[in-house]
Amino acid sequence: MHVPVMLHEAMEFLDVQTDGYYIDATLGQGGHAARVLERLTTGKLLGIDCDPTAVRLAQERMKPSDDRFLFLEGNFEDIDKLHAEAGLPPVQGVLADLGLSSLQLEDAQRGFSFSLPGPLDMRMNPAQPRTAADYVNRSSERDLANLFFQLGEERYSRRIARAVMKARPFRITTELAQVVTRAVPSRAGLHQFSRNRSSLRPMRRHPATRIFQALRIAVNRELDTLATFLKKVPEVLATGGRLVVISFHSLEDRLVKQAFQAWKREGSFRLLTRKVVRPGAEEVQSNPRSRSACLRAAEKLELAKSA
């Protein structure tokens, strides 16, 4: 079962008004959206997602007969067009949870997990042209090393790229994970400390974690789509409207932080989170996948400039 990350904090910063208009820009299975709907009376919620499977499950959960809920299939980088298509006025809040859902991680056929044998796919939208296998099997050694270093922040990127070149072609996730594991020094990268300051005990991290992250980001153009979303989202927010973003790695969080700081300098937004907000120790314990989550929130000001 999918458990929405930082649900309490997201709702606190969204500050949902019963008659307001809201957008869940990455609907997933609708965990956050369901809580927004609980607070709406005459207001409306637009859900957006590009994953057809997640969309189907979320629609079932949201009850299609509920006229407070609208859904459009698409990528959140097109939030301006999707907002216009829905016919909504400027909205009081936008939420973007950038993480994978349990549905995606636990379905071996999607290829997101290095612990489950399945095709090297990793596409959130099956209509996308390139899979992870395409990147792994067709890229040059130099391009692979750059990809692993830039998008995975992997210090052993060159060693891993060399090992991948020797062992390819790859078709199955676990095959790639095994080669990566053998390429990484036995004691390197196996542990990381919790970002939650109340819990500094080390947590085991699989050596393939960063490689799979890099491939997933490349396949789904995640940084490009996030940058485009951040450029467009101020257009759909009303004065006083709030943007809440939950990210899961430093590359995403850096883009969000930079956008928020730029808006603050312009005087178009005020920051609701002076520092990044992280999940509490209790949530991390009950839902380990939340441990890397970072939440930032901002509010659009009157006379805002175009982003």
Q: How far apart are CA 73 and CA 232, in angstroms?
A: 18
What percentage of the chain exceeds 70 in pLDDT? 91
More confident residue, 6 or 65: 6
pTM for the model stands at: 0.89
What is the 3-state secondary structure of the chain?
Answer: CCCCCCHHHHHHHHCCCCCCEEEECCCCCCHHHHHHHHHCCCCEEEEEECCHHHHHHHHHHHCCCCCCEEEEECCHHHHHHHHHHHCCCCEEEEEEECCCCHHHHHCHHHCCCCCCCCECCCCCCCCCCCCHHHHHHHCCHHHHHHHHHHHHCCCCHHHHHHHHHHHCCCCEHHHHHHHHHHHCCCCCCCEEECCCCCCCCEEECCCCHHHHHHHHHHHHCHHHHHHHHHHHHHHHEEEEEEEEEEECCHHHHHHHHHHHHHHHHHCCEEECCCCCECCCHHHHHHCHHHCCCEEEEEEECCCCCCC
pLDDT greater than 50 at residue 256? yes
* Across 7-19, average pLDDT: 97
- Residue 187 confidence class, pLDDT cut points 50, 70, 90: low
95-112 tens-digit pLDDT: 999 988 777 788 888 989
Beta bridge partners of 47: 24, 71
Q: How far apart are CA 261 and CA 263, in angstroms?
A: 5
pLDDT greater than 80 at residue 202? no
- Residue 306 confidence class, pLDDT cut points 50, 70, 90: very low
Residues 6+ apart with CB under 8 A from 65: none
**295, two tokens:** 């939440």
- Residue 132 confidence class, pLDDT cut points 50, 70, 90: very high
What percentage of the chain exceeds 90 in pLDDT? 71
Q: State the span(s) of the chain assigned CATH 3.40.50.150.
A: 7-103+223-300
Q: Among the listed ranges 12-26, 43-57, 143-157, 160-174, which one has the minimum average pLDDT value?
A: 43-57
Q: Among the listed ranges 49-53, 82-86, 171-175, 294-298, which one has the minimum average pLDDT value?
A: 49-53
Instruction: Please state the CATH superfamily assignment of the domain spanning residues 108-220 in this structure.
Output: Putative methyltransferase TM0872, insert domain (1.10.150.170)
Q: Give the pLDDT score at 197.
A: 39
pLDDT greater than 50 at residue 6? yes
Q: Among the listed ranges 64-73, 217-226, 230-239, which one has the minimum average pLDDT value?
A: 64-73
pLDDT greater than 50 at residue 190? no
- Residue 215 confidence class, pLDDT cut points 50, 70, 90: very high
Instruction: Please state the CATH superfamily assignment of the domain spanning residues 7-103+223-300 in this structure.
Output: Vaccinia Virus protein VP39 (3.40.50.150)
Q: State the span(s) of the chain assigned CATH 1.10.150.170.
A: 108-220
Measured in degrees and rounded to the nearest 5, phi and psi for residue 240 equal: 90, -5
Q: How far apart are CA 156 and CA 169, in angstroms?
A: 20
Q: How far apart are CA 215 and CA 213, in angstroms?
A: 6
Q: Give the pLDDT score at 230.
A: 98
Q: Give the pLDDT score at 128.
A: 87
Average pLDDT, the chain: 89
